[in-house]
A and B are shown apart, each in its own frame.
Chain A
Amino acid sequence: MREIYKKPEALKDNITHYCPGCGHGIVHRLIAEVIDELKIREQVIGVAPVGCAVLAYNYFNFDVAEAAHGRTPAVATGIKRALPDNIVFSYQGDGDLAAIGTAEIVHAANRSENISVFFVNNTVYGMTGGQMAPTTLEGQKTLTTPSGREKKTTGSPIKVCELLSVLEGARYLYRGALSTPSNILKVKKAIKDSFQIQITKKGFSLVEIISPCPTYWGLTPLESLQYIDNNLLKVFALGEIKNTVR
Chain B
Amino acid sequence: MKEKQLVCGNVALSEAAIRAGCRFYFGYPITPQNEVTSYMSLRMNEVGGVFLQAESELASINMVFGAALTGAKAMTTSSSPGISLMQEGISYLAGCELPAVVVNVMRGGPGLGNIAPSQSDYFQAVKGGGHGDYRLLVFAPSTLQEIVDYTYMAFLKAGEYRMQVMILMDGLMGQMMEPVSFPEMSESFSYRNDWALTGCKKREPRSIKSLFLEEGVLERHNKSLQKKYGEIREKEILYDTFLADDADVLLTAFGFCGRLCKKAVEELRGMGIKAGLFRPITLWPFPGEVFTGLSKKSRKIFCVEMNAGQMVEDIMFYADNKNKVGFIGRTGGGIPSVSEIVKAVTGKR
Contacts and interface: CB of A to CB of B under 8 A. Distances in A.
A57 B55 contact: no
B205 A68 contact: no
A42 B201 CA distance: 5
Interface stretch (B58-66, B104-112, B218-226, B310-318): B58-66
Given A57-B209, A68-B92, A107-B55, A78 B198 contact: no
Contacts of B201: 42-43
A215 interface: no
Chain A interface mostly: mixed
Interface in B111-167: none
A42 B207 CA distance: 14
Nearest to A101: B58
Contacts of B54: 74, 107
Contacts of B26: 78
B241 interface: no
Given A67-B65, A74-B66, A79 B59 contact: no
Interface stretch (B68-76, B182-190, B257-265): B68-76
Nearest to B92: A68
A74 B205 contact: no
Interface string B69-92: 110101000000000000011001
Interface in A75-127: 75-83, 86-87, 103-104, 106-107
Given A57-B209, A64-B207, A66-B207, A82 B199 contact: no
Contacts of A61: 200, 205
A171 interface: no
A192 interface: no
Nearest to B70: A82
Contacts of B68: 78
B198 to A, nearest CB: 7
A71 B200 contact: no
Contact of A77 (B58, B66, B92, B198): B66
Contacts of A71: 58-59, 62, 65, 89
Contact of A66 (B55, B67, B210): B210
Contacts of A172: none
B191 to A, nearest CB: 12
B58 to A, nearest CB: 7
Nearest to A84: B50
B55 A63 contact: no
Given A62-B199, A74-B59, A79 B66 contact: yes
Contact of A78 (B66, B96, B202, B211): B66
A81 B52 contact: yes
B62 A78 contact: yes
B63 to A, nearest CB: 4
B56 interface: yes
B208 interface: yes
Nearest to B201: A42
Contacts of B198: 45, 63, 83, 86
B193 to A, nearest CB: 11
Contact of A63 (B72, B89, B197, B211): B197
B324 to A, nearest CB: 44
B207 A74 contact: no
A73 B72 CA distance: 18
B296 interface: no
A67 B62 contact: yes
A74 B199 contact: no
B66 A82 contact: yes
Nearest to B24: A82
A75 B200 contact: no
A24 interface: no
A44 interface: yes
B55 A68 contact: no
Nearest to A47: B66
Contacts of B52: 77, 81
A192 to B, nearest CB: 19
B206 interface: yes
Interface string A34-74: 00000001111101100000110100111111111001001
B205 A54 contact: no
B56 A103 contact: yes
A103 to B, nearest CB: 5
A164 to B, nearest CB: 14
A28 B211 CA distance: 20
Given A83-B198, A103-B55, A107-B55, A78 B205 contact: no
Given A57-B209, A66-B209, A81-B50, A86 B67 contact: no
Interface of B: 24, 26, 50, 52, 54-56, 58-60, 62-70, 72, 74, 88-89, 92, 96, 197-202, 205-211
**Closest 7 pairs between A and B when the two form their complex, measured CB to CB:** A78-B66, A57-B207, A74-B62, A66-B209, A71-B62, A78-B63, A107-B55
28 contacts: A42-B201, A47-B66, A54-B211, A55-B211, A57-B209, A61-B205, A63-B197, A63-B198, A63-B205, A65-B197, A66-B208, A74-B54, A74-B59, A74-B65, A75-B62, A78-B26, A78-B66, A78-B67, A79-B69, A79-B197, A81-B24, A81-B50, A82-B66, A82-B72, A83-B70, A103-B56, A104-B59, A107-B54
